[in-house]
Chains A and B, each alone.
Chain A
Amino acid sequence: MDKTIVDILQQAGLLIAELWLLILAVAVLLLDVFSKRKRGYLTNALAIAGIIINFYFIYTTSQKYPIADQATFYFFDSLAVYRYTYLFQFLFNTSALLCLCLGMFGRDNKNVRRGEYLALIIFMLLGLHLLAKPANFLILYLAIELISFSAYMLTYFNLNKWGTEGSLKYLLFGAFSTACMLYGISLLYAFTGSIDLEALQQIVMQTDQVASLLIVGLILVGLVFKLAAFPFQGWAPDTYEVAPTPFVAFLSVAPKIGAVFIITLIWQQLDAINTSSQFLYYLLSFITLGSILFGNLGALWQKKAKRLLAYSSIAHTGFLLLPLFNNSTNSMEPLLFYAFIFMIMNTAAFAWVYFMEVRLKSDKIDALSGCGKVQPFVSVLLLVIMISLTGLPITAGFTAKLFVFSELWQSISTTNTLASIVFIAGLINVLIALYYYLKFPYTAFFKNPPVTTLPFVLNVRQASFILVMTIPLIVFFFKPDWLLVLIESLS
């Protein structure tokens, strides 16, 4: 028993990044409560500095607790370091950093620099850090709830009437789906007596088909809801529309990628045994095809930029899940490449929308008209972002889609016939997406603004933020191996 303390103290270093985030959140909250300056730039700068320091803590943890091909377990098998744990933590951290940097813009938008807002973003990041290394369902459940509660509250932070509505609906359905997931976990415990992720293997091998499918299905409900994928995507457009835009840039990327990571973990557990796999592939193709189709068709008729991007992110969820069809071990790399590029281009797009909101107090796409004539260079950046979101050449969005689809192609050539349908449908959908993404640059370049209003322009700081976000999209098209080297070095 003496070993207990020694073990805990030795392994406490694994949680140093999480502890740092906890301290940071508390510090931000207290600074905001006690500081006299009400503009909030100071607290935001503190939060940004803290998150930059957190990169160092992730680095030291990765040196001290190195990754291996197999997961290594800590804290009496409740936490684990998987091969891609630190990479995902790096990704979440970057996404939060970009979100907070966006908050620095907009003199009148004080709400995105409030202490509570910043602290909740950091708490959400803490939950995401835990989500990158769960070894049992307790940690997984707690991480998901930490992320969700922060998200429910953050949705309201425009502090207006519509904010409460979106927040309430998000909360009710979110709580419902996590309750379903929890019930699945409790059934799993009832049948196997274990709450480890490995218990899933046991349940599929030992018990009846109906029970195991019920359990796996219930657990997937909670995750698919977090993912905003097909059967549970309904909350996304409303929530995205009312939430503060910098937060949406975070919400539409980080929790989504986290949920994909957890689904891959569960997939690996289930894939080890091949009993019910055929059904699982039906389920997977239902989710992916559904979200791609629903996202694209929903986006076609949208007039507001934020709603359009919400539907587009539902479609991107489907593409993120495509590599799961291939059950070989290295299938994480295309997913990670896609996740990185998705983070950059989605944040850039939402940054653009946020700048529109800051200046015009509206996110109608029509408000862009005439922008291309006044600021041709900046509008070309918009064109690049949108082409990248569609997935066409000379942008990294194309490379990401190429990797994902080639992964899918391999799984067609090996066994899976189902994958071929998904492959063709996915390619058709890229063409559909072209229509609504090009609405943005089309309006900017070819539509004339009403005579009474001045066209929308970005100031120098805003334009340089967009430029910084756009450069990687072009660079990684010509040099995708640079990003792959980064992924390789962290995994």
Chain B
Amino acid sequence: MLSDFGYILLFILGGLMFFSISMFVAFLIRPQRPNEEKQTTYECGEDPVGNAWGRFNVRFYVIALIFILFDVEIAFMFPWAVIFADNQLVQETQGTWLWFVFGEMLLFISILLIGLIYAWQKGFLNWDKPIAKVPDFKSKVPNDLYEKLNKEYS
């Protein structure tokens, strides 16, 4: 029988395995076309070094808000997982306990899922890109004149 800290060691090992296996599989599957933007720490383009008072893009908040709700849902799943496979209860009720508890959790998750469907359908998960405005102004000064000037004075 494991001691209490043995369980923690198991969790650490499990966590490491989960992490390394998934990274390895991703390494096998993904296409590899690195460029400078992709090599940065956060692929979304946020600079990891700099002033802590800098502002984040508003669009991150919407994703973060949705993430919070699904993240906190886990808080209810831990106590649920403890009693889900309680041997004594399962034997006393000839297995109906499992179905009952499973159904409860299914109901809970499906309500959250409907929230996700709602957010998805309303388009809150879309990363709407700003459309760059191309000015339709036609200058009489040709472009190569600027380049000539640049060359002359640089």
Binding site for B on A (CB under 8 A): 1-2, 4-5, 8-9, 22, 26, 29-30, 33-34
Contacts and interface: CB of A to CB of B under 8 A. Distances in A.
Nearest to A26: B114
A436 B112 CA distance: 48
A30 B110 CA distance: 13
A255 B140 CA distance: 69
A461 B37 CA distance: 63
B140 to A, nearest CB: 44
Contact of A5 (B100, B117, B121): B100
16 contacts: A1-B89, A1-B92, A2-B92, A5-B96, A5-B100, A8-B100, A22-B111, A26-B111, A26-B114, A29-B118, A30-B114, A30-B117, A33-B117, A33-B121, A33-B122, A34-B121
A9 B100 CA distance: 9
A5 B121 CA distance: 37
A5 B93 contact: yes
A29 B120 CA distance: 13
Contacts of A30: 114, 117-118
B97 A29 contact: no
Interface in B103-120: 111, 114, 117-118
Interface of B: 88-89, 92-93, 96-97, 100, 111, 114, 117-118, 121-122
Nearest to A8: B100
A1 B114 contact: no
Contacts of B92: 1-2
B65 to A, nearest CB: 13
A8 B99 CA distance: 14
B114 A29 contact: yes
B11 to A, nearest CB: 29
Contacts of B117: 30, 33
A34 B97 CA distance: 37
A9 B97 CA distance: 12
B59 to A, nearest CB: 19
A1 B121 contact: no
A2 B93 contact: yes
B49 to A, nearest CB: 34
B96 A1 contact: no
Nearest to A19: B107
Nearest to A6: B93
Contacts of A2: 92-93
Contacts of A4: 89
A33 B120 CA distance: 10
Given A1-B88, A5-B100, A26-B111, A33 B93 contact: no
Contacts of A8: 100
Contacts of B93: 2, 5
Contacts of A26: 111, 114
Contacts of B96: 5
